[in-house]
Amino acid sequence: MKLIQDWLEDTVDDLNGALDLTHDSAIDQQAERLRAAAEAEGYTVDQLTEGCGGDIADYIRSRRAGSGAVDEKMAGDNFPIPVIAAKQEGS
């Protein structure tokens, strides 16, 4: 069996999918899915919690925030979408 940290590296991003970090309920649901997957692989909740640094939901939140994932822009968002200018011929 893999070390819990190695298992987390391989598993957590697959479970997250399109996670909405603004809703704690979505993160809690992902934490529950991760617990179930860990138990199905033979890990205990204590091992998982320790591998996550003490808090499964915070681990998921920090992994998602640090992944560099770009969420889709929604109408009404306050930040602009970057526009890459194309070089025009003859310029």
* Terminal-to-terminal C-alpha distance of the chain: 60
Q: What contacts 48, CB < 8 A, 6 or more positions away?
A: 4, 8, 34, 35, 38, 56
Q: Does residue 38 form part of some domain?
A: yes
Structure confidence at residue 87 (pLDDT) = 52
Q: Does residue 35 form part of some domain?
A: yes
> 3-state DSSP call for residue 58?
helix
Structure confidence at residue 15 (pLDDT) = 73
Q: Does residue 16 form part of some domain?
A: no
Please list the pLDDT of the chain residue by residue as tens digits (91 residues).
Answer: 899 999 998 888 777 566 676 778 888 988 999 999 999 999 999 999 999 999 999 998 888 776 554 454 455 545 555 545 455 555 4
Q: Does residue 17 form part of some domain?
A: no
- Please state, in angstroms and rounded to a whole number, the distance separating the CA atoms of residues 34 and 48: 9
- Please state, in angstroms and rounded to a whole number, the distance separating the CA atoms of residues 6 and 84: 38
Structure confidence at residue 73 (pLDDT) = 47
pTM beyond cutoff 0.75: no
Are residues 21 and 64 in contact, defined by beta-carbon separation less than 8 angstroms? yes
Q: How many domains does the chain have?
A: 1
Domain that holds residue 34: 4-11+23-66
Determine which helix (DSSP H) or strand (DSSP E) holds 37, and give its type and residue range.
helix 24-40
Structure confidence at residue 17 (pLDDT) = 62
